Structure 1
Amino acid sequence: MNRIKEVLEQKGIKQTWLAEKLGKSYNMVNAYAQNRQQPRLETLMEIANILDVDIKDLIISNKEIN
């Protein structure tokens, strides 16, 4: 599970902008944001760099889920 959608909303950034910066389709970024698909670790790191956040801010801890 990830927090990409929440971080984008906090920063006022649109998924279309992130998709353009990542070089991925809007549909792919939307799948990440909706947790229908999880990005590879390398992609998650790239998203963290683009959004200027710690990669840990994009992940929901498994301890929080249980």
Structure 2
Amino acid sequence: METRLKKLLKERGLKQGWVAEQTGISLGAMSAIVNGKSDPTLRSARAIARVLGVSIEELWPEEDER
């Protein structure tokens, strides 16, 4: 699943570790999600979106929105 998470973190000057800490996701899991090596669970995706103040759809757009 393609994600815009890495781009958003860079634009906002945020670190993966900070997001991981705020969401309760391990740093290893967060790294895999940010780098597109692992898809987040729905719970994780909601937590990440909530912490960043965006919708899940903004981070993981549907294929026809790319």
TM-score, length of structure 2 as denominator length: 0.85
Runs of 4+ in 1 over 4 A off after TM superposition: none
Rounded to whole Å, the distance in 1 between the matches of 2:5 and 2:45 is 9
Residue in 2 that maps onto 1:15? 16
Aligned length: 65
TM-score, normalised to structure 1, is 0.85
Counterparts of 1:1-66 in structure 2 under 5 Å?
1-64=2-65
| Amino-acid identity (%) | 32
Deviations 1:13-65 (A, max 9, x none): 10010111111221110000000001011211111110011221101331256
In the alignment, structure 1 segments of 5+ residues that lack a partner are: none
Specify every segment of 5 or more residues in structure 2 that has no aligned partner in the other structure, as ranges.
none
The two structures, once aligned, show a CA RMSD in angstroms of 1.4
